[in-house]
Amino acid sequence: MNDRAVRALRADFRAWFGLSVIGLMVLLAVMAPIVSHHDPLRIDLVNQLQGPSVSHWLGTDVQGRDVWARLVYGARVSLSAGVISQSIALAIGLVMGLVAGYYGGWIDELVMRLADVTLAFPTLLLLIAMAAALQPSLIVVFLTIGVVGWASMARLIRGQVLVVRQLEFVQASKALGARDLRVVVWHVLPAVLAPVLIAVTLGVAAAIMAESALSFLGLGVQPPTPSWGSMIADGRDLNQLRNAPWTSLAPGLAIGAAVLGFNLLGDALRDALDPRHSSITSSMDASPSARP
């Protein structure tokens, strides 16, 4: 990341706000045993659906479990799902995209047709089908979201490689006898990292939403493990929504805040790392017609 991008990020409120939200959630997830004084799995039917109080900051759910404790412990699951599943998608998409874009020909055609088949199915339906076909668990959620997300990552990387491989420094390296692996790792890969970093940041937000959707449907993290999606599912009946809205409102707000934080950070990274976007924005701001 060059100095211009660093200065742009420092001056961008979206980057600061997004990092603050993400950092706070990570801190709460790591320090969950400290910031919560209740066991997230402990059932206490005597105190079910209690409102927010000094003892239970966000109240209790239908089984008497502390909502705040389940919220901060659930942050571990949701944030881990976003990061790990995107790491899987990045690993697969990076290899496929680099190989397809660099070599072209039948390899490019094969990889892109596989990507087209994957993208032809609605993402959520494909996630549900894969999760339902396997035994629902945390590992299955990570692998399912990661495998489904590789196609869009591969297409993005492949498009960047098609441009970079024609540049003079890449052609010069090949002319000097450098092996393909060295050219790809030392010359092509660094040139495509900026858009990949942006895509990964935005992809984490999408993965958190996907994990929450699967858990809400009962195909993700299995009870009694706390998850934001399963917490919303536990409080979705009409009686709870009317009389104890905190049981589903708290995890819903947590999902919204996490997605907002990663999206704002991704938008800030896009503006800072994409020179074309920055130049277009600057020219629009400097244009007399753009001024009031």
pLDDT tens profile 164-175: 888 888 888 888
User: Rounded mean pLDDT of 142-158?
Assistant: 89
β-partners of residue 106 are none
Tell me if 152 sits within 8 A of 207, measured CB to CB.
Answer: no
User: Rounded mean pLDDT of 33-53?
Assistant: 87
Higher local confidence (pLDDT), 83 or 129: 83
Task: Determine the pLDDT at residue 285.
Answer: 45
User: Rounded mean pLDDT of 198-222?
Assistant: 88
Question: For the chain, how long is the longest CA-to-CA vector?
Answer: 77
Task: Determine the pLDDT at residue 98.
Answer: 92
Domains of the chain: 12-32+68-276 (1.10.3720.10)
* DSSP class per residue in 134-154: S---HHHHHHHHHHHTHHHHH
User: Rounded mean pLDDT of 250-255?
Assistant: 92
Place of tokens 């998850």: 227
Percent of the chain with pLDDT over 90: 28
Place of tokens 């339906």: 125
pLDDT at 136 over 80: no
pLDDT at 48 over 50: yes
First to last CA, the chain: 35
pLDDT band at 256 (very low <50, low <70, confident <90, very high): very high
Map residue 192 onto helix, strand or coil.
helix
pLDDT band at 287 (very low <50, low <70, confident <90, very high): very low
User: Rounded mean pLDDT of 84-97?
Assistant: 92
What pLDDT, in 10s, does the model give residues 114-126? 998 888 888 778 8
pLDDT at 15 over 50: yes
What CA–CA distance (Å, rounded) separates 85 from 139?
Answer: 10
